[in-house]
Structure 1
Amino acid sequence: MAYREIISRAVLTWGAVAVGARLPVAAAPLALVFLVRERPGGYTLGAVLAAVYVIGEIVGAPLLGMRMRPERARPQLAAGLAAGAAGFGALGVAHEAPPVLLGVFAFVAGAGPAAAPGGMRALLTSLVPERAVAQAMSLESVLTFGIWAVAPALTAALALAAPHAPLLLIAALMAASVAGLWVLPAGWATGEDPAGGDRGTLRVVLGVWPVYVTGAASMSLLALAELILPALLEQRGIAVGWSGVVLAGFSIGSAVGAFVYGLRSWPGRLPTQSLVLLLGVSACVAVVAVLPGLVWIGTGLAVAGVMQAGAMLTRNLTLRELLPPSALAAGYSVMYAAVGAGYAASGTLAGGLLRVAAPSTAILAGVCLTLLLAVVGAVGERRVSAAARVPKEPGAATAARL
């Protein structure tokens, strides 16, 4: 199905609301660093505030996502985004507050809207025909990577004028996304009896744990490469300033990869596609660690971005295959938390490895760990997928025993 066939007023409206909800998430870590960098020990405090923000996301996504109900998604999404806007606004207005209070605001800003990406994705897929879900998710990924490419430059430019300006802007954007929800559908239909309750949803969502392992693995690998990139450039005798250009190439590659994935159907089952793409990302990052020269590093990360986009899409589509519609928002939220946890763990691992190993060695160690997690996830996904494909027609259970 062509992209032009899924472009509608509802999808375009969803895109506008998504920009208001997601640009603050992309800008927040850097905005927090700029907010306090002129204080004594400002960069350290900024890193701590950014970490608290991410912890808020990791905690809030599964807790709030599990409670999201398709039939009343709008008020739940609005409440979460409003809490995030309040947290960002408090950081911008009370930017001279004590660090502990800033930490509380940062946690609220991270936790409040953490379930919104999952809920918004479930809402988007309800706006298009079933056969066009892959294209809709590809378009969502292109939008997301575009936001992540623009957010750092916008944040830095505003912060040079006033350190708290980025936080005031993103608070306003998130507040605007709350209002925008009322021009979208109130929720999405599932055609299911929601009698299972929170415990039933939790059991179903956690039952597809291998998908989350694979998601955390790929993000951990790329986070390790990104965080070690400046040190790697120094090791190669390349100016550290090139790191921004290289990472922009990665974002562009990711947007291209997401667009290309949605152009057609690809051979193989989704878990197989995910594994192949993850192995490809691992190979690209290994090339970055081993081969010298800025061209090799930039090309390796750009190609890794193309494959990473496809890997991310296959994981989300796999969740859609394995989970019932009523649990999709919760599943996407748990994936969001798993990816955030993988990124946070990679930051810690990067700091530890650089104390005892060269940057290139640290990246290769991360590749080995990713491959191990990929194998665990692939074996688990095969079992989960096999269980999900058991026939459910009358008499199927009897037939299976014969």
Structure 2
Amino acid sequence: MSREPLLWGLVALASKTPVAMAPLALVFLTRQSPYGYTFGAILASVYVLGEVVGAPLLGTRPGRGRLRRQLSFGLMAGALAFGALPLAVSAAPPSVLIGLAFVAGVAPAACPGGIRAMLTRLVADNAVPRALSAEAMLTQIIWAAAPGLVVPLALQVHPGAPLMVVALLAATASVLLLRLPEPEEPESAGLPSRPMAATLLTGWPVYLTSAASMAMLATAELVLPALLEERHIAVGWAGPLLAGFALAGAAGAFCYGLRTWPGSVRTQSLVFLVGTSGCLGLVTVLPGVTGIAAGLLLTGVLQAGVMIARTLSLRERLPQHAHAAAYSVMYAVGGVGYSLAASLSAVVLDRANASVAILGGVAVTLLITAVSALAESRRPAPRIPHPGSASGPH
């Protein structure tokens, strides 16, 4: 770790934290307004929809030599939208608030994929797995800490305070991003010229693993409170259990980066997905808070392996010039998987108990994983040659 990777870490911290804080912050924004919690949940859904729409729309169109400026502009636009929401909530009509929430989601949606592509170009090729492990650790820690930031700010300072912090962080990331070197666009010498859309479509089996992973995450997060109530356990345990789940993911990412693991990264991703599904299924049969915690901790550890292996798999399958766009598409597909699993969980909870809802989410995850594995077995991906980073190890 030297200057550029450390600066990248600051950019990642400042740009990922708003993503983790925003949905809960939007719920608390309208808590004391005439709209209430329900409208806050609608704003959060619109924000996520903006991310899902914006990631493939903006992430697949980075101008040549303009990746930094595009991502910086998107972050600043998102920061302005976030900052406007607390100012507008008391006077603006609902349609304006919905529009601002959508802009806050869509404008910076290309950033997760873009800054990941920048990271892989800042380090030597043999250091990329460790770099992605560090990114996964950072992401999990942020998601574990985000609720602890939002709730005290909203309850003890002001309902709009979390969104003002989010706006400040996004603006800071926008400025810091311009201090990173512009990634060099690799030449595709020796490779047939193909339209970007056709190139990106070749990675669809990997995108499916992202949808499966996020479907499992949605099942764990959204059904947990109902499972606790069903077992007559205080719902307040949901917060510590989910924080432990995220921190276990950080530990799993750290362990993944310590060594080289057997098998191809495509195989690793599929094996980790099956393992996480099994561990999440344990939550339905293990007794008490201790049993639920054990299942979630194991799920979190293996989930980190899925996150890293799927990125490495996509990097292996596609040429380097398509990486930023592919990471954005994968991000969007993951959001779709999360939304579909959330909808399925809501339907099942209306008709059955929480354990059935969790097992339904596990079944969906395994089905998607099976489709991805079948596609991988029928279409073995050729090894794409990746040029080394611009100046070797940093």
2:47 to 46, 53, 58: 53
1:42 to 36, 42, 45: 36
In 2, the alpha carbon distance for the partners of 1:152 and 1:366 equals 24
Bigger drift between 177-186 and 301-310 goes to 177-186
What residue identity is the alignment partner of 1:152?
Answer: P
2:124 to 118, 121, 129: 129
- Deviation digits for residues 328-369 of structure 1 (CA, Å, limit 9, x no counterpart): 001000010011111111221111110101110111111112
Normalised by the size of structure 1, how large is the TM-score? 0.92
- Deviation digits for residues 184-225 of structure 1 (CA, Å, limit 9, x no counterpart): 0022342336x999x811111122111111110121022112
1:9 to 3, 6, 14: 3
Helix, strand or coil: the match of 2:182?
Answer: coil
1:88-107 alignment, distance < 5 Å: 88-96=82-90, 97-107=92-102
Bigger drift between 202-211 and 247-256 goes to 202-211
What residue identity is the alignment partner of 2:22?
Answer: A
1:182-331 alignment, distance < 5 Å: 182-192=178-188, 200-331=195-326
What residue identity is the alignment partner of 2:3?
Answer: R
The aligned residue for residue 335 of structure 1 is 330
Work out whether residues 70 and 326 of structure 1, in 8 Å CA contact, stay in contact via their aligned partners in 2: no
- Deviation digits for residues 141-163 of structure 1 (CA, Å, limit 9, x no counterpart): 11111111111111111111101
In 1, the alpha carbon distance for the partners of 2:140 and 2:383 equals 33
2:176 to 166, 174, 180: 180
Distance change in 2, residues 1:184/1:59 (3 Å) = same
- Deviation digits for residues 114-164 of structure 1 (CA, Å, limit 9, x no counterpart): 010111001011111110000000001111111111111111111111011
| 1:157 and 2:146 are equivalent in the alignment | no
1:77-96 alignment, distance < 5 Å: 77-96=71-90
What residue identity is the alignment partner of 1:277?
Answer: F
Long gaps (5+) in structure 2: 386-394
In 2, the alpha carbon distance for the partners of 1:121 and 1:387 equals 22
In 2, the alpha carbon distance for the partners of 1:80 and 1:382 equals 38
What residue identity is the alignment partner of 1:17?
Answer: V
Bigger drift between 228-237 and 32-41 goes to 32-41
In 2, the alpha carbon distance for the partners of 1:390 and 1:303 equals 33
1:345 to 325, 340, 346: 340
What residue identity is the alignment partner of 2:172?
Answer: A
Work out whether residues 316 and 383 of structure 2, in 8 Å CA contact, stay in contact via their aligned partners in 1: no
The aligned residue for residue 366 of structure 2 is 371
- Deviation digits for residues 87-135 of structure 1 (CA, Å, limit 9, x no counterpart): 1111122222221111100000000000101110010111111100000
What residue identity is the alignment partner of 2:183?
Answer: G
- Deviation digits for residues 296-351 of structure 1 (CA, Å, limit 9, x no counterpart): 10110011000000011000000100111110001000010011111111221111
Name the count of aligned residue pairs.
383
The aligned residue for residue 21 of structure 1 is 15
Work out whether residues 70 and 190 of structure 1, in 8 Å CA contact, stay in contact via their aligned partners in 2: no
The aligned residue for residue 138 of structure 1 is 133
Identity over aligned residues, as a percent? 54
In 1, the alpha carbon distance for the partners of 2:98 and 2:205 equals 33
2:162 to 140, 162, 166: 166
Helix, strand or coil: the match of 2:65?
Answer: helix
Distance change in 2, residues 1:139/1:387 (3 Å) = closer
Helix, strand or coil: the match of 1:221?
Answer: helix
Work out whether residues 216 and 365 of structure 2, in 8 Å CA contact, stay in contact via their aligned partners in 1: yes
Work out whether residues 145 and 243 of structure 2, in 8 Å CA contact, stay in contact via their aligned partners in 1: no
The aligned residue for residue 398 of structure 1 is none
Normalised by the size of structure 2, how large is the TM-score? 0.94
What residue identity is the alignment partner of 1:62?
Answer: P
The aligned residue for residue 400 of structure 1 is none
What residue identity is the alignment partner of 1:38?
Answer: Q
In 2, the alpha carbon distance for the partners of 1:210 and 1:31 equals 34
In 2, the alpha carbon distance for the partners of 1:196 and 1:166 equals 48
| 1:32 and 2:31 are equivalent in the alignment | no
Work out whether residues 59 and 111 of structure 1, in 8 Å CA contact, stay in contact via their aligned partners in 2: yes
What residue identity is the alignment partner of 1:65?
Answer: G
Higher helix share: 1
Helix, strand or coil: the match of 1:37?
Answer: coil
Work out whether residues 214 and 378 of structure 1, in 8 Å CA contact, stay in contact via their aligned partners in 2: no
In 1, the alpha carbon distance for the partners of 2:236 and 2:52 equals 31
Helix, strand or coil: the match of 2:60?
Answer: helix
In 2, the alpha carbon distance for the partners of 1:380 and 1:69 equals 32
Distance change in 2, residues 1:69/1:379 (3 Å) = farther
RMSD after superposition: 1.8
In 2, the alpha carbon distance for the partners of 1:390 and 1:224 equals 35
What residue identity is the alignment partner of 1:177?
Answer: A
What residue identity is the alignment partner of 2:45?
Answer: A
What residue identity is the alignment partner of 1:333?
Answer: S
- Deviation digits for residues 48-69 of structure 1 (CA, Å, limit 9, x no counterpart): 1000000000000001011014
Work out whether residues 318 and 384 of structure 2, in 8 Å CA contact, stay in contact via their aligned partners in 1: no
What residue identity is the alignment partner of 1:75?
Answer: R
Distance change in 2, residues 1:51/1:363 (3 Å) = same
The aligned residue for residue 397 of structure 1 is none
In 1, the alpha carbon distance for the partners of 2:376 and 2:78 equals 34
Helix, strand or coil: the match of 1:147?
Answer: helix
